[in-house]
Structure 1
């Protein structure tokens, strides 16, 4: 799995363009704004809000010019902002604009520069020029309009406060437009930062998923190596037994045929058992990566007789642990004992890590004619982090159980605590030894 390219710092990150669905939505929004702007303009004409209303074709042209460019607001936001600013000023000068949709369109254009602009410095400069230019034009319009009768409210009366009515009117317009442009600027930059944060979060999530997969693969490979090392012990045991029995049979074949036959039967049984264990592990080991030669084991193989030592070590660590054996122990293949021991060892290790000092743990071994069941149940809490497929120890236990034809159950208990239960068959179908 290839890790995604790292996100650069804020000055280098570029927001991806919207897909086809996003562009279709932008086009639909621009069409809706065109209809709204045209309808608002016609209502303004009908209401007589403008003394010298332009002809119908000019109103339609203005409505299209103030709205339809927004279809490209996420592709070329800087160009759209320049066009809509010019159209806005022209419409206001010619008294062809409406009082609602033109402001909405201009807000969206300035917002898009901050939210979708790829050249951040250019976007900052452009918005600054637009804001300063619009404020200068507004102040100039107020000054000019003050000399036109009936253009502004009655500002000739004496001041009732500490400033004149003209200054108060100018401040209202300036503050309103500062809030308007400041809001478009702020929310545009916030949208850009949010998009960058989402992109960084998605990248980190992908990297964590890739790392988790690599770690799981490494854990499985390590567990397979451990299985292979223990298989070395099992195979070495069977081969040594075969060698001893074959030598004994050769020496007594002439004088004691019955004893020689017994030795040959032992050889046959040992060979069948070795082949069965090799067959059970072949599918697991052949899927692993190349880990080189199998190292010589540095510890003797463990089995059921060593479970008492595991339980005693857990009890000595401060967690009260008990071992219960149910049923009559049966003769088990060497690999069965190793698997049961390792699963119990991993489960008790997890108890010490996650269950808490006040927990207790009960290890039970249930024997019957066909299978043996090893169960490790604790009374701890807060084990959710180790549940499901996420635990690497769980992956190793599942590999071991599957290697001998068994099953593994892991998860929280209904009455509290955690349960690990491995069911391992004592007999498996083995391949016939060639004649």
Structure 2
């Protein structure tokens, strides 16, 4: 359990290095000070009007000066809090010594309370504040003891003692004065510390808001970068696949141009279809880039749906007539499983198949390939195999295979890429569709 010194130190935040910003002397401080001076002088004149200051043997201008002087320390209460409360205490002590009735004015008491309050609330250093206030309170206590010892307090507080009172005047006067001072200074100090803690909490909330805003900006930037990388992979797959297919069909058309016009026409038709498909998909991807701040998933004009597992059949048919013969097979554990595959999963498997077929044409001697799509309630899988060997001088950058691994791993799937033991090459990607399989 924490000791009392620790509790007091914790309440006054002695280990906190936070410095409350002051902002200097503002126009508001000037307005507050002038308003307080006006109200204090009004209270002074009202008290003089009802005869409460007849015992004060001072001309009116000195009374005005003694009333105005404490109010002036409110002007620098935020800019120089400890200096203001120190000088204000000296002035208050001087007024109380010189003319006690002027120090006991309601307006003067309120002004000094505000000065003490502000010193705690705006002090830059908690330790310096505690040190200054310890000296001030000790000095005020010694002043009170001196007043009791000299009889000044008794003469000011006790007009006529009541002999039938339960508590004699010699006890009642110092007890009352002690309680009043404890409540007075205690209220000002505790209230000032509560105000300082409120400002500290507001500063923490502002810092947290700035941190959250910065983190949100970073997350947004990271999301934009990830989306651009995804689109870059899409463009790589689209361009590589269609340009490769167009090259293959153009080569086939050139070989049969003079001998088989019908085959040439078919090859040119497939070139036309492939080029249009490539342009259409590229427009969709570039349209995504142009959406800017459009909501995620919103479709703008000309938006092309992303291809999925059912579109692999079209992908295979585009290879017809080329040097690579592709067989396509779909294996479903239950009828309709293919249509239950989520669009994002199907799209990733489609792009994986596209990249695998493109690599088979560009980087191997394969003449035959096989694409098998396997779908069950808990998984979706594609397997692309061919019968070729690596073609010398055609090694790529590796970005295609890297893109395949990134696509599949983003869904918690697994990829196998490499040569087969009996010859040829295999690309196999499997994505779980159930949370328990992912675990």
Which TM-score band (shorter chain)?
0.5 to 0.7
The residue number in structure 2 matching 1:32 is 35
Tell me the CA shift for residue 181 of structure 1: 0.2
Residues 148, 275 of structure 1: alpha-carbon distance in 2 compared, 3 angstrom cutoff:
closer
User: Is residue 120 of structure 1 aligned with residue 126 of structure 2?
Assistant: yes
* Among 305, 310, 318, the residue aligned to 2:310: 305
Residue matched to 1:65? 69
Determine if contact 1:114/1:188 at 8 Å carries over to the other structure.
yes
Q: Cα 1:13–1:38, aligned 2, differ >3 Å: closer, same or farther?
A: same
Change (3 A) 1:199 1:61: same
Give the whole-Å Cα distance in 2 for the aligned partners of 1:177 and 1:9.
Answer: 24
Query: Per the alignment, do residues 19 and 264 of structure 1 end up closer, same or farther by CA in structure 2, a change over 3 Å counting?
Result: farther
Segments of structure 1 that go 5 or more residues without pairing to the other structure are 1-7, 289-300, 317-321, 325-333, 343-395, 397-435
The correspondence of residues 22-421 of structure 1 with structure 2, limited to 5 A, is 23-50=26-53, 51-93=55-97, 94=99, 95-97=101-103, 99-145=105-151, 152-155=158-161, 157=163, 160-161=165-166, 163-282=167-286, 303=308, 305=310, 338=347
CA distance in 2, matches of 1:56, 1:28: 25
Is the CA contact (8 Å cut-off) linking 1:228 and 1:285 kept in structure 2? no
Confirm or deny that 1:11 pairs with 2:20. no
Q: Could you tell me how far 1:61 is from its partner in structure 2? A: 1.0
Q: 1:33 & 1:170 partners in 2: Cα distance?
A: 31
Cα shift at 1:184 = 0.8
State the SS of the aligned residue for 2:21.
coil
Instruction: Give the gaps of 5 or more residues in structure 2.
Output: 1-12, 293-305, 313-329, 352-409, 411-439
Matched-pair contact (CA < 8 Å) for 1:15–1:195: yes
Deviation for aligned residue 1:148? 7.5
Identify if the C-alpha distance between structure 1 residues 148 and 12 changes in structure 2 by more than 3 Å, giving closer, same or farther. closer
TM-score (norm 1): 0.60
Q: Is the 8 A contact 1:304 1:340 kept in 2?
A: yes
Contact 1:53-1:96 at 8 Å conserved across structures: no
Displacement of 1:265 in angstroms is: 2.6
Q: Deviations over 1:16-44 (max 9, x none)?
A: 11367xx2222111111111221222233
Post-superposition shift, 1:132? Answer: 2.2
Please report how far the alpha carbon of residue 341 of structure 1 lies from its aligned counterpart in structure 2 after TM superposition: 9.0
Residues 44 and 204 (structure 1 numbering): CA distance in 2 closer, same or farther, change over 3 Å?
same
For residues 20 and 153 of structure 2, the distance between their equivalents in structure 1, rounded to whole angstroms, comes to 48
| CA deviation after TM superposition for structure 1 residue 304, in Å | 5.0
* Cα distance between partner residues in 2 of 1:181 and 1:261: 101
Cα deviation per residue 1:96-154 (whole Å; 9 max; x = unaligned)?
A: 34521111111111111111111322211211222222233234334434698686232
C-alpha contact 2:148 2:154 (8 A) present in aligned 1: no
Q: Which moved more, 1:220-229 or 1:164-173?
A: 220-229
Q: Is the Cα–Cα contact under 8 Å of residues 78 and 117 in structure 1 kept in the other structure? A: yes
Q: What displacement does 1:179 show?
A: 0.8
Aligned length: 303
Q: What TM-score, normalized to structure 2?
A: 0.59
**What is the CA–CA distance in structure 1 between the aligned matches of 2:14 and 2:139, rounded to whole Å?**
32
Query: Equivalent residue of 1:16, what SS?
Result: coil
Larger radius of gyration: 2
| C-alpha displacement of 1:177 | 0.9
Check the 8 A contact 1:84/1:109 in 2, yes or no: yes
Q: CA deviation at 1:254?
A: 0.8
- Say which is worse superposed, 177-186 or 88-97, in terms of deviation: 88-97
CA change 1:306–1:255 in 2 (3 A) is closer
Q: Give the superposed CA RMSD.
A: 4.0
Q: Is the 8 A contact 1:41 1:96 kept in 2?
A: no
Contact 2:158 2:169 in 1 (8 A): no
